Amino acid sequence: MTTRPSAPRIKPVADPDPDTAALLTTTMNGPSGKPINIFGTLAHHPKLLKRFNLFAGLLLNKGLLPGREREIVVLRVGWNCQSVYEFGQHTIIGRREGLTDAEIVALTKPTSEFTWPTDDAALVAVADDLCTDDCVSDATWAALTPRWNDAEMVELVMLAGTYRLVSGFLNSTGVQLDEGVPGWPPR
């Protein structure tokens, strides 16, 4: 595995132009009132930031999947990609959506070490399949489809793929944890 940068390779925009500053007002802010580091880094490409906010914002805030289930997938993808930033941000969101600390820790371990309910185990598997082979296996698909309809299946695959892309961006650009965001949980 490639060593993750310990400092930003691209620092968040410190003094955005007025249009970018206006765009950043639509993103999530940290405790300091400034945009969180992912958005400050994406602000180097304002057009991409705008489209990313629409697309990823749909998955995060307006998707079909319940928040708890969405966060199981996102956290497992973050773990599989070894993206501490992604995992830390979504630890906070996952707790807000009802995940317990034990479940969050379990998402960092082999599936044999935690007994997930059947539907949750299938969500972990979709993240594992896509991060391992870029394709959901027949077994995982069969475990998911009794619960999720076609539109939700589209969203599950897009969710895992999107957060894999985001994790790669965060890792590669060295986006650092924001103030107050946890890193990896104790194991």
pLDDT of residue 33: 82
What's the predicted TM-score (pTM) here? 0.96
Residues 46 and 72 grouped into a single domain? no
CA angle (156 as vertex; 186, 94 as ends), nearest 5: 30
d(CA 59, CA 104): 20
Q: Among the listed ranges 15-29, 74-88, 103-117, 144-158, which one has the minimum average pLDDT value?
A: 15-29
The distance between the two most distant Cα atoms of the chain, rounded to a whole number of Å, is 51
Domain range for 140: 67-173
Residues 32 and 88 grouped into a single domain? no
**Mean pLDDT to the nearest integer, 118-122:** 98
The CATH number given to whatever domain includes residue 91 is 1.20.1290.10
Residues 121 and 107 grouped into a single domain? yes
Give the pLDDT band (50/70/90) at residue 187.
Answer: confident
**Mean pLDDT to the nearest integer, 137-164:** 98
Residue at 139: amino acid letter:
A
